[in-house]
Structure 1
Amino acid sequence: MLEAKYDWRLPTQTDNNEIEDLSSRLAISSIVTRILYRRGYKTVDQINSFLHPSSEKIIDPFELYDMDKAIECIQEAAFSGLKIVVYGDYDVDGLTSTAVMYSTLMQLGADVTYYIPNRFEDGYGPNIEAYKCLIDKGAQLIVTVDNGVTGYEAINYAKSRGVKVVVTDHHELPEKLPEAYAIVHPRHPKGKYPFGGLSGVGVAFKVATALLEEIPSDMLDLVALGTVADVVPLISENRILVKYGLEILQRGNRLGVKSLCEVSGTKLDEITEQTIGFILAPRLNSLGRLGDANVGVELLTTENENTALSLANSCQKLNSERQELVEKITENALEHLKEQSGKHLVNLVWGENWHQGVLGIVASRLVDETGKPTVVVGIDSSNNIAKGSGRSIPSFNLFQALDGHRDKMVAFGGHHMACGLSVEPDKLEELQMILDAEAKEQQLDKRSKESLELAGKISLNSISTKLIDELQLLAPFGNENEEPVFAFDEYTTINAQAIGKNKQHLKINLASLNEKNNVSALAFSVGEKIAKIVAKPACVKFIGTLSKNVWRDKTSVQVMIKDMCLMEDSKTEIIDMRTNKLRKSLFQQDGMYIFFNSNVKQQIEEYLPQNAEAIVAKDIVKTLKAKDVTFVDCPNNLNDLKRVLTMIETEKIYTIFFSNDNAYLVGVPSREQFATLFKFIQKHTNVDIRNNLDKLAKYLKISKELLIFMIQVFFEAGFVKIENGLMSKVAQVKKEDLSQTRNFKMRQLKMKAQQVLIYSNRATLTKWLTDFINI
């Protein structure tokens, strides 16, 4: 059995009336409205503010603590011709932060250069040796971007040399802050900035705005790159900055980004947050992982097309090398884990000369593959030191697990979900024992799966390109504004197949119950699990996001699988006995007979075998066991049947699902039919519907069954009054949406139930029933 990675959590039911009211007032679908409502946007103003981010909501940069001091210091240095160094970081947030600050100071006419630390020689953040070198070369002011708050020793050293340091950062604040001239940070303990989720480039952009005394909109593309890449919350001010930044990116004004798109085969005008996350950011990050990250700032600031293209090609080449390294090391690491036979709660794998620049990526891959916290270490044979990176899961605090054992390591740092460490190779076995002991201490073996909140459950037939367009109103997606993930029902699995160059990806072809909507569901990097799924595609359950697929100018919808599981074949046998006429011969087996209509139970009870038990569905309040269960009549609502299926344990289910009406085939009245009946009522009073209903149906050319339903709807809506079998108009009729009446909604539910339970083929019915048995 293939287990799901996450514990799927369907949302609790929200107030439909309130959702429909908001949906109507906002002119957006109820699906989108319900998602926003559950995320805390519960008024028209709140939803409009979210859906339509305005630059007017960008916060005044001087609300950041120490901003006035920072600006005064930087301006004085710039106008006095002092040598300024922008000290950045080697990831995308650091590169874009450096580009923003460097470009801003260039506009002010400052004597400015930048320095990006080397991942392997300098490490992260302020480094005393790097500061000494910069100051020896003439640096008179250092401005940090995307780092600095943990650089106590380096910044104190600069101060001792008479060099001021202005820190702009967004990372976690230590108990003791460095003695910098100014610290600009959205969560400064003495500050009151209303949004603490800015990225490093977001903070740099606020400084740039203050220095230039206007919003530098041409730099918003850099802000979008760094903000998305750093996985900070995409809400509030970040949502505004990224929304506008994506628009700037799509214009292709920045030569470096334009060239990156060209060498990666990406269309500029189609750049989204996913383009940043999966295409642009990995290429820029590869510079710091395998090469010189300073090149990244040059790429993002150059105004020479040839330079931009040359540097972009270097990024592309390094990214390909990075991908090859990750694949090779991941494959080797998985082999090591197989040899361990899963005996450890935390994975620790190591290898000779594994490239340190990609070990964090490999660790993430192994967490995804195994569901366990993972530390991956590369042993450097030149100095006999093992360096590595760890990645964790929410239920295991990796930093806490290792923080108390620093004496066993050469160096260590990190947080709950990630760490970096150096250790002597002969201590690795002991480190595995420590991790296992800490896992037991944190009761990792007793922790449940990480939960994943779903946006809801939708039928395959309701998926459309229009729905996908509406869901895109919620974009850009990211941390704290995740792309909606859905569970799916009312479909059949046609087949599943392995696809891709190495057959590592999965494609499942699906069809809706009415077979009008064929949809493909895709899962990437499925690995060894793919053979099991292809062998039993009908047993796969999955959750995923919705997207469009364009092939040869034809657009179709597809599901991008987020998680899946392979259920065991149902042990319950389904015997199809559906009929449109009840006969005594249908009731031969003993066991339990379930009725949804008590009147049908009264009519049929005498036909049942002596040892049979007859029960009305609404009376089932606890789990029932019976060898054989027969569903006699068709419920008016599929939810009624779903509830019963989850409360019975049985070996065989006999399905009769008799119904004495044909709601699904008859359908619902058209607007024209409603109008015809309404006009008739306005001209006639005291219509005898008790005795003349057949004549009226014939006169109006509307079936009797449909006419009865229409009269019920009119009566509920207050369009007619009925007394002693006589129907007359109501003088003052209020405008009413007939589709929102209870009768209309109940009929739609009945039609859906009949579609699934009476008019579907045997395979579809069997799958639908087994999906809900013993959930």
Structure 2
Amino acid sequence: MIDSKKRWRTPETDARAVQALTDSLGLSPIAAKVLAARGFTEPEAAEAFINMDLSSWHDPFGMKDMDIAVGLIQQHIRQGSRIAVYGDYDADGVTSTSVMMKALLSLGADAFYAIPNRFRHGYGPNTELFTEVYEKGASLIVTVDNGISGVEQIKAAKALGMDVIVTDHHEPGEILPDADAIIHPRHPDGDYPFGDLAGVGVALKVAHALTGDFPADSVYLGAIGTVADLVPLHGENRLIVKMGIDRLRHSAEPAVKALCKVADVQQPNIDEETIGFGFGPRINALGRLGDADPAVRMFLTEDPAEAGMLASTLDDRNRERQKMVASIADEAIAWVEDTYGDALPAVLTVAGEGWNPGVVGIVASKLTERYYRPSLVLSLDPEKGIAKGSARSIEGFHLYKELAKNAELIPHFGGHPMAAGLTLPIVNVGQLRDNLIRQGEETLSDEDLIPVIDIDVRLALDEVDLASIESLRALSPFGSGFAKPVYGLSDLSVESSRKIGSMRNHLKLTVTDGRSQLDVVGFGLGHIDDELTPDAKVSLAGDLQINEWNGRKKPQLLLKDLKSSGWQLFDVRGERVLSRWLPAIPEDALFVAFKKENADKFRADTGKEILLTSQVQPERASSLVILDLPDNMGELEGLLGSCSPSRVYTHFHVPESRYFMGMPDRKQFGWYYTFLKQKGTFHVMREVDGLAKHRGWSRDTIIFMTKVFFELGFVTMENGFAVAVGNPPKRDLSESGSYRGMERQIEIEQALLYSPYMELRRVIGAILDAPDTAREEQQLWI
């Protein structure tokens, strides 16, 4: 048995809806199943989702205060006033700034931008930076991707005589800033039909309202910011990303070409994963480590050389960020494991002096992914006495609400159910850690602490082909709120398994249902190879892909999780070198020997606790290692019946094998007895080698026959001499205990030690797979 490390959740598929989608829209069964699993059961809704166009784009003037904002901006442009676009340092903020700047400059505005520094100014409106903007001659500030929480800062800007327009998408507080206009998709007094826009989506709305046309030239920026900010990809967000990706693939923008070069991406192949894993991290790296200004300059420049230089800067900073994250993550993981070992608390709070606060959010994500616990990672600044950091959560633990319960410890925090940022005095860190652990224990059950994998669609192997996988592209883009589907396949045989990669830490499988085959790759899952047996039936969960190699295309499953029900047999017979197989044995395995001398030997060789079968308690053992051979099948049945293991490792060591020596036949016994009568006396130990050489027998065969004759009364033994009895009684060879023991030993070795793998599995399976009542009867008989 291979237990899954995650909880598998699979919804029931509406077969009629799948058929309707297939018939009406010409979709492949796989694509239809995905849509039905995601709630698109009506063909009309599914078609509108797949073929989304500008008819899904709402009138920007449907946003509260849009008319006021547009009028004010136009007034400042007419007056020749300077307009400052006040952005943010992440990818959403950078692209929002770029969209707003492009729109203003296209209208002839005297516009410039300001991006706060994470370390100097913090997030959002900053009075010091507002003052700098004012001193540069700004009469109007337009915030993008921030501002809704800047009540005091905007009040200060107004006091300087500047007009302020807030465009934001973050959660509005109870008190709104006293800005001249607030453009927000979830404005408390508004009724805009789509509330999940990213900051760049709001900026696109303002750009549309200002110019009078949909900002097609800037929609590629909308795709980057929307994907990077992890907002749900439905409604207008989906349209932005869908149109933006198409624009990215064909764009002549210097920034796009420069990003493709540093990210090693072919421009026609850009998709949402390119943005999420290639472009987004590089743009975010600047703001995490310092000033994000170069990213905006890259998007605004028309000079390919300058764009290339700035993209290289982004790439360099991203490499620096990666090293920093890896170093801090190593320290954080070491602290967790040194502090808690296997007894992890419900919530992890890790703090380190000098950690860069710009990357601790990524480290928190890594801890949550590794341990599946809500995780806080804090950077300590002893000089200021402040801890600043980020948190990530899991299902069932509403991070913002749980932090709010500690408001007296955390003067500044913000976020949502799954992520948050916070600043607090260092002296409060210990108390916060204790409080969150207690809150986690009260809120999270043991089941909640097991990672979840949601399987969208269950498939049969014959449904997986290149055409079906390619048809899934019609459902893209995938992302937050519309994740890439996870597929489940069950009851497949493992045709081949091996570890791959320079560190041999990845897994490569080929699975089959007897008719079709599928290649499977599991990154970081190489250890599963040690757990698979040739007879294993596996269930897989993962992402279907097309693997192209040397011009050939094949379906492939990128493995997320694997499990196998039923017991497994691991064959380590004949492996005399312990180091070759002992490391693969689970730590909690039960090692058992039938014979004391073998138990003593293995105990001395391995240092492990070795039990005799008489010491085994009748309780379940997940892994059982059988070190030597039983004297009879009854002993094996008793051991397996008492343990009911899910994994059986058979070593079956015998000091001397009887199977290949063979049982002497009656002609051999007859010749030997005649020889003894003619010889008169025969000193067994002195003369056995000569006789063995003469007859071509082994010395053990001669000693064995002598012992049988002695037990039957056919010879006497005196001082090592065997002397034939004149008129021995009529007795059958099987009446000798040694003869019967040899027969049993040969039978046991043939059945257990020298049988093919599948035959051994059949023998053990007849015991383990027997009904409980039958097993109880076997044990009673034993």
TM-score, length-normalised on structure 2? 0.70
Alignment of 1:669-684 (within 5 A): none
**1:531 and 2:532 matched:** no
Residue 517 (structure 2) aligns with? 517
Please report how far the alpha carbon of residue 370 of structure 1 lies from its aligned counterpart in structure 2 after TM superposition: 0.4
**1:362 and 2:363 matched:** yes
Residue 98 (structure 1) aligns with? 97
Asked if structure 2 preserves the Cα contact closer than 8 Å seen for 1:61 and 1:67, the reply is yes
Question: Are residues 310 and 540 of structure 1, via their aligned partners in 2, closer, same or farther at CA, if it must alter by over 3 Å?
Answer: farther
| Distance in structure 1 (CA, Å) of the matches to 2:155 and 2:493 | 67
SS in 2 for 1:141: strand
Please report how far the alpha carbon of residue 296 of structure 1 lies from its aligned counterpart in structure 2 after TM superposition: 0.8
Please report how far the alpha carbon of residue 144 of structure 1 lies from its aligned counterpart in structure 2 after TM superposition: 0.6
Aligned counterpart in structure 1 of residue 551 of structure 2, from 550, 553, 569:
553
Asked if structure 2 preserves the Cα contact closer than 8 Å seen for 1:486 and 1:545, the reply is yes
| Distance in structure 1 (CA, Å) of the matches to 2:527 and 2:37 | 38
Alignment of 1:258-269 (within 5 A): 258-269=257-268
Asked if structure 2 preserves the Cα contact closer than 8 Å seen for 1:492 and 1:764, the reply is no
Residue 25 (structure 2) aligns with? 26
Question: Are residues 500 and 176 of structure 1, via their aligned partners in 2, closer, same or farther at CA, if it must alter by over 3 Å?
Answer: farther
SS in 2 for 1:266: coil
Question: Are residues 563 and 765 of structure 1, via their aligned partners in 2, closer, same or farther at CA, if it must alter by over 3 Å?
Answer: farther
| Distance in structure 2 (CA, Å) of the matches to 1:129 and 1:540 | 61
SS in 1 for 2:177: coil
**1:121 and 2:120 matched:** yes
| Distance in structure 2 (CA, Å) of the matches to 1:502 and 1:326 | 21
Flag structure 2 segments of 5+ consecutive residues without an equivalent.
572-643, 647-757, 772-782
| Distance in structure 2 (CA, Å) of the matches to 1:543 and 1:554 | 24
Question: Are residues 450 and 764 of structure 1, via their aligned partners in 2, closer, same or farther at CA, if it must alter by over 3 Å?
Answer: same
| Distance in structure 2 (CA, Å) of the matches to 1:310 and 1:209 | 31
| Distance in structure 2 (CA, Å) of the matches to 1:408 and 1:217 | 47
Residue 480 (structure 2) aligns with? 479
Please report how far the alpha carbon of residue 51 of structure 1 lies from its aligned counterpart in structure 2 after TM superposition: 1.2
Residue 615 (structure 2) aligns with? none
Asked if structure 1 preserves the Cα contact closer than 8 Å seen for 2:360 and 2:390, the reply is yes
| Distance in structure 2 (CA, Å) of the matches to 1:256 and 1:155 | 33
Please report how far the alpha carbon of residue 266 of structure 1 lies from its aligned counterpart in structure 2 after TM superposition: 0.8
Alignment of 1:174-323 (within 5 A): 174-323=173-322
SS in 2 for 1:287: helix
Asked if structure 1 preserves the Cα contact closer than 8 Å seen for 2:20 and 2:43, the reply is no
Amino acid at match of 1:555: K
Amino acid at match of 2:14: T
| Distance in structure 1 (CA, Å) of the matches to 2:759 and 2:241 | 50
| Distance in structure 2 (CA, Å) of the matches to 1:202 and 1:288 | 20
Amino acid at match of 1:507: L
Cα deviation 1:236-274 (Å, max 9, x = unaligned): 222112111101101132211211110221111100001
| Distance in structure 1 (CA, Å) of the matches to 2:102 and 2:287 | 21
| Distance in structure 1 (CA, Å) of the matches to 2:400 and 2:564 | 34
| Distance in structure 2 (CA, Å) of the matches to 1:173 and 1:228 | 22
Please identify, of 376-385 and 28-37, the stretch whose mean Cα deviation from structure 2 is larger: 376-385
Question: Are residues 336 and 105 of structure 1, via their aligned partners in 2, closer, same or farther at CA, if it must alter by over 3 Å?
Answer: same
| Distance in structure 2 (CA, Å) of the matches to 1:218 and 1:414 | 32
Please report how far the alpha carbon of residue 132 of structure 1 lies from its aligned counterpart in structure 2 after TM superposition: 1.9
Question: Are residues 462 and 33 of structure 1, via their aligned partners in 2, closer, same or farther at CA, if it must alter by over 3 Å?
Answer: closer
| Distance in structure 1 (CA, Å) of the matches to 2:356 and 2:550 | 41
| Distance in structure 2 (CA, Å) of the matches to 1:472 and 1:119 | 38
SS in 2 for 1:493: strand
Cα deviation 1:151-181 (Å, max 9, x = unaligned): 1111111122221111111111111111111
Question: Are residues 541 and 762 of structure 1, via their aligned partners in 2, closer, same or farther at CA, if it must alter by over 3 Å?
Answer: farther
**1:431 and 2:432 matched:** yes
| Distance in structure 1 (CA, Å) of the matches to 2:99 and 2:320 | 28
Amino acid at match of 1:401: E
Residue 396 (structure 2) aligns with? 395
| Distance in structure 2 (CA, Å) of the matches to 1:446 and 1:511 | 30
Please report how far the alpha carbon of residue 321 of structure 1 lies from its aligned counterpart in structure 2 after TM superposition: 1.0
Alignment of 1:682-721 (within 5 A): none
Amino acid at match of 1:11: P
SS in 2 for 1:322: helix
Cα deviation 1:541-588 (Å, max 9, x = unaligned): 431111112222221221122344576745999xxxxxxxxxxxxxxx
Question: Are residues 210 and 765 of structure 1, via their aligned partners in 2, closer, same or farther at CA, if it must alter by over 3 Å?
Answer: farther
| Distance in structure 1 (CA, Å) of the matches to 2:435 and 2:370 | 23
Aligned length: 583
Question: Are residues 235 and 253 of structure 1, via their aligned partners in 2, closer, same or farther at CA, if it must alter by over 3 Å?
Answer: same
| Distance in structure 2 (CA, Å) of the matches to 1:457 and 1:222 | 36
Please report how far the alpha carbon of residue 336 of structure 1 lies from its aligned counterpart in structure 2 after TM superposition: 0.9
Please report how far the alpha carbon of residue 410 of structure 1 lies from its aligned counterpart in structure 2 after TM superposition: 5.4
Flag structure 1 segments of 5+ consecutive residues without an equivalent.
574-649, 653-760
Please report how far the alpha carbon of residue 389 of structure 1 lies from its aligned counterpart in structure 2 after TM superposition: 1.4
Question: Are residues 568 and 370 of structure 1, via their aligned partners in 2, closer, same or farther at CA, if it must alter by over 3 Å?
Answer: farther
Asked if structure 1 preserves the Cα contact closer than 8 Å seen for 2:507 and 2:528, the reply is no
Asked if structure 2 preserves the Cα contact closer than 8 Å seen for 1:140 and 1:163, the reply is yes
| Distance in structure 1 (CA, Å) of the matches to 2:501 and 2:266 | 22
Amino acid at match of 2:47: N
Question: Are residues 500 and 331 of structure 1, via their aligned partners in 2, closer, same or farther at CA, if it must alter by over 3 Å?
Answer: farther
Amino acid at match of 1:159: K
Asked if structure 2 preserves the Cα contact closer than 8 Å seen for 1:494 and 1:508, the reply is no
**1:82 and 2:78 matched:** no
SS in 2 for 1:79: helix
SS in 2 for 1:117: coil
Residue 470 (structure 2) aligns with? 469
TM-score, length-normalised on structure 1? 0.71
| Distance in structure 2 (CA, Å) of the matches to 1:191 and 1:75 | 23
Amino acid at match of 1:123: G
SS in 2 for 1:357: coil
Please identify, of 165-174 and 449-458, the stretch whose mean Cα deviation from structure 2 is larger: 449-458
Whichever of the two has the greater Rg, that structure is 2
SS in 1 for 2:154: helix
Amino acid at match of 1:545: D
Question: Are residues 551 and 572 of structure 1, via their aligned partners in 2, closer, same or farther at CA, if it must alter by over 3 Å?
Answer: closer
Question: Are residues 115 and 503 of structure 1, via their aligned partners in 2, closer, same or farther at CA, if it must alter by over 3 Å?
Answer: farther
SS in 2 for 1:180: coil
Asked if structure 1 preserves the Cα contact closer than 8 Å seen for 2:507 and 2:529, the reply is no
Residue 776 (structure 2) aligns with? none
RMSD: 3.1
| Distance in structure 2 (CA, Å) of the matches to 1:570 and 1:237 | 51
Cα deviation 1:521-560 (Å, max 9, x = unaligned): 233x45xxx4355443747643111111222222122112
Please identify, of 214-223 and 564-573, the stretch whose mean Cα deviation from structure 2 is larger: 564-573
Asked if structure 2 preserves the Cα contact closer than 8 Å seen for 1:496 and 1:509, the reply is yes
Please report how far the alpha carbon of residue 48 of structure 1 lies from its aligned counterpart in structure 2 after TM superposition: 1.5
